[in-house]
Amino acid sequence: MRDYLPRGAPARTALVAALVLIAVLAAWSGWRAWQLRSGATEIAGAGLLGGDFALTDQHGDSRRDSDFRGRFMLVYFGFVNCPDICPATLQVMSAALDRLGEDAERIAPLFITVDPVRDTPDALKAYAANFHPRLVALTGDQAAIAALARAYSVYYDKAAGGDATDYQINHSSIVYLMGPDGRYLTHTDASASPEALADAIRAYL
Ligand code: NI
């Protein structure tokens, strides 16, 4: 074994330093994997999630993230033609807000499309009417949506098998709670119940 070790004290010190670094990285990645598996909501670096936007709502009005400062934002990315996850999640968001009573006024629920080609303001208007009366549904140009999705670490990709107008989009399904300063606070995934989401929000009110 000793024969494989580099000769000389400096070389051995460098080797030990490298081994320590490897051990630290291995421990960190193991901890990260556990954290992601366990659904822990405090993600390292999560404070960097989110970002500025300038989009158009379902009434054709331009909306910026700064318009919502002073209120919490409940942010969800999806698309109108999504068969199940999006409507289910928007229903959970609406029901969670109902459970919060008057406190819900402090929260702006936002639905941001990942399908801006089909999800025009008119399409969003008809869709949003199915959910919470204060739901703000947002669209924009493809580059702006792509940049914002990246800022929220949201994945989306057109599913195989469709054509130019009839297609599905695979997308991550996470509800983000952003604070009155616009910064990330916590998130839940699409399987959260209205009670769980309401509790997650209430913890920050
Ligand atoms: Ni969806």
Ligand 1 centre to CA of 89 (Å) is 8
Ligand 1 centre to CA of 25 (Å) is 35
Same domain, 8 and 89: no
CA distances from 12 to 1, 24, 26, 185 (A): 13, 18, 21, 45
Same domain, 1 and 57: no
Domain, as residue range, for 19? 1-38
Ligand 1 centre to CA of 78 (Å) is 5
Same domain, 7 and 101: no
Same domain, 95 and 169: yes
Residue 129 CB: number of other CB atoms within 10 A? Answer: 11
- Give 3-state DSSP helix, strand, coil % of the chain, rounded to 5: 40, 20, 35
Report yes or no: 41 and 175 within 8 Å, Cβ to Cβ.
no
Ligand 1 centre to CA of 8 (Å) is 60
Q: What is the pLDDT along the chain (205 residues), one digit of tens a residue?
A: 455 555 666 667 666 666 665 565 566 665 555 444 444 445 556 668 999 999 999 999 999 999 999 999 999 999 999 999 999 999 999 999 999 999 999 999 999 999 999 999 999 999 999 999 999 999 999 999 999 999 999 999 999 998 888 999 999 999 999 999 999 999 998 889 999 999 999 999 9
Same domain, 67 and 90: yes
Same domain, 184 and 83: yes
Ligand 1 centre to CA of 33 (Å) is 25
Ligand 1 centre to CA of 82 (Å) is 4
Sequence-distant (≥ 6) Cβ neighbours of residue 7 within 8 angstroms:
none
